Amino acid sequence: MNRIARLLDRAVGSLSAAAATVSCVSILLIAVGVTFNAVSRYAFNKPYMFVDEYAQYLLVVTFYLGVGYTLRAGKHVMVEMLVGRLGLIVRLSLGMAVSIVSLGALAIMCYYAWTGFLSTQRAGIVSLTPMQTPLALPFFAVAVGMTIFVLEMIVTIVNDAVALGQRTRAGQLAE
């Protein structure tokens, strides 16, 4: 089980790191695009309307492709006032229970993200702007990001189960 957990952790970690890199590049593109547009608007009185539209899509990319890595890094919002006072085994068990419930909610959201992407792609829906951007592109970012988030939650549960098993066995051996 430990070997499988390490392989899964490594594979999903690589996927999360790649998605986080794309997320960081998206932030950079937003900054460059908005700066370019501001200079163009004020210096040459010629704004580029596509910049605002694509900045919004890149914000979607930034969030959804970064959310899995954020979970891996332990940077999601946590309240540890009470949980921090519990024993390690109780804390791991409670963390697993919360993660399992969260996984259920995330799996439903992931399903609907992929459904939204597929239906948008099949229908060929485009934005109502002059650029007529295929809306399947931002929907794809949401679906991929949610999938990575689900995989990271699975890794969290597996790692907690392994840690709980080791702690429980260590406790039994000490008795």
The amino acid at 31: A
The average pLDDT across 31-40 equals: 96
Question: What are the tokens at 74?
Answer: 């332990």
Mean pLDDT of the chain: 91
pLDDT in tens, 123-132: 999 999 989 9
Distances (CA, A) of 26 to 31, 56, 88, 138, 149: 9, 10, 39, 12, 18
Q: Give the confidence band of 1 by pLDDT, cuts at 50, 70, 90.
A: low
pLDDT, tens digit, 9 for 90 and up, residues 47-80: 898 999 999 999 999 999 999 999 999 887 777 7
Tell me which residue has tokens 């066995």: 169
- Nearest CA-CA partner of 72 in 174, 14, 168, 152: 152
Q: 93-97, 135-139, 151-155: lowest mean pLDDT where?
A: 93-97
Out of 49-58, 77-86, 163-172, give the one with best mean pLDDT. 49-58
Beta carbons of 150 and 110 less than 8 angstroms apart: yes
Sign of the Cα torsion 146, 108, 9, 84 reads positive
* pLDDT for residue 175 is more than 60: no
pLDDT, tens digit, 9 for 90 and up, residues 105-122: 999 999 999 999 999 999
C-alpha span between 132 and 100 (Å, rounded): 40
Contact 138, 108 (CB under 8 A): no
Q: What is the mean pLDDT of residues 18-28?
A: 98
Q: Which domain holds residue 157?
A: 2-174
pLDDT over 50 at 173, yes or no: no
Report the domain count for the chain: 1
